[in-house]
Structure 1
Amino acid sequence: MWHDLVAVQIPIVEKVLRTIAVYALILVLFRLAGKRGLAGLNTFDMVVVFLLSNVVQNAIIGNDNSLLGGAIGAVTLVAVNSAVTRWLSRDPRAARILEGTATTVVKDGRLVPGALHDLALRPSELEHAVRIQNGDDLGQVARARLEPDGQLLVTLKKTDQSATRGDVEDLRRRLEEIERLLTAIAADRRPPR
């Protein structure tokens, strides 16, 4: 029994190479699927992820059911992902190639023609992102774009943005100045005694 747990049944180098190859394949598949696949996992996306993990399992582990073989595959997967992540953080060109670039979907309150279709986004998903980011409708949006990581970032028009602490402080100062001026005017209009 103990032997089956620790005895790797295929060469370690083969296991490492299998893991790297499957990682690269999945990376390419997700890149080809586009940003929409990362924007928000719906029920269908979750089914694909679960099935995908089951489909590639044997490609990674081969005919090896040992605990040590699974651990080697897991360590390889985490190490390769960490290396790729660090590489992308240092190399903007590689990040642009592997992750892509942001796609503008709304500009000056209007949908960019064809953008939703190209990204396979539904208008309801876009409207939801606008509401989450304090907007009421697309007319309030200065710019909205789908980032390479699948996040939908919305920038509201200046007139539709929520007030900041600085805005409130500026308004308080202006009201105090108006109050001071009104007090001065009232004092000047008082009849002499």
Structure 2
Amino acid sequence: MNPYLDIIVRSTAVYLFMIIALRIFGKKELSQLNTADVILILLISNSVQNAMVGNNTTLLGGLAAATILFIINFILKKLLFKYKKFNAFMLEKPEILIHNGTLDFKALSKVNITSEELKEAMREHGVEYFKDVKMAMLEIDGNISIITGDQTLKQTHYKRRKNHKNLIQGS
């Protein structure tokens, strides 16, 4: 087999494996990565490098692997845009966490957010009480959007990390 065709096949297999593995293990978006997640990604990239390029450590071998990864990623994004069922399968949906001041405990449990984490996100947005929240939603990008019920309709975004001790304010 042509060594570059071999790299293309190997890289494609690794890419598809990683997509499926990330989907199964439920990591939604990069904005939710904590230190352990970043270390995992670095170790995985190191562990699958040889699976993609084999013994070919040449510049052309590396460029062939990188090129096919970019091409597959481009195609995947086009498929996500074109086919709604595929998009629904691959991507999580936004979850309403608070509606008109009422917490949805089932949704909070589903997305592994405690009421304390939600309170912390609300405080970051300058909201003190649940009753003041018209809607709080965990977006598909990992942000918690909060819309207040006051006259000014304050709308803010909050980036959530999996570990509530590592919450950071988003843009």
The alignment-based identity, stated in percent, is: 28
Partner secondary structure for residue 149 of structure 1: coil
Q: Corresponding residue for 1:60?
A: 52
Higher Rg: 1
1:131–1:35 distance in 2 versus 1, CA, 3 Å: farther
1:137–1:55 distance in 2 versus 1, CA, 3 Å: farther
Higher helix share: 1
Partner secondary structure for residue 25 of structure 1: helix
The answer to whether residue 79 in structure 2 is matched with residue 81 in structure 1 is: no
Higher strand share: 2
Aligned equivalents of 1:137 and 1:44: distance in 2? 33
The answer to whether residue 36 in structure 2 is matched with residue 44 in structure 1 is: yes
Deviations 1:13-65 (Å, cap 9, x if unpaired)?
22111111111111112212225564422212211221121122122112211
Q: Corresponding residue for 1:186?
A: none
The answer to whether residue 96 in structure 2 is matched with residue 101 in structure 1 is: no
Q: Given the two structures, how large is their TM-score scaled by the length of structure 2?
A: 0.75
1:127 deviation in Å? 3.4
Q: Corresponding residue for 2:10?
A: 18
1:101 deviation in Å? 1.7
Matched residues, number:
155
Contact 1:37 1:45 in 2 (8 A): no
Instruction: Map 1:1-193; keep pairs closer than 5 Å.
Output: 11-35=3-27, 38-159=30-151, 161-162=153-154
1:88 deviation in Å? 1.1
Aligned equivalents of 2:129 and 2:14: distance in 1? 42
Which segment drifts farther, 55-64 or 144-153?
Answer: 144-153
Q: Given the two structures, how large is their TM-score scaled by the length of structure 1?
A: 0.67
Contact 1:18 1:59 in 2 (8 A): yes
Unaligned runs of 5+ in 2: 156-171
Over the aligned positions, Cα root-mean-square deviation in angstroms equals 2.7
Contact 1:10 1:64 in 2 (8 A): no
Unaligned runs of 5+ in 1: 1-8, 164-193
1:161 deviation in Å? 2.5
Contact 1:10 1:62 in 2 (8 A): no
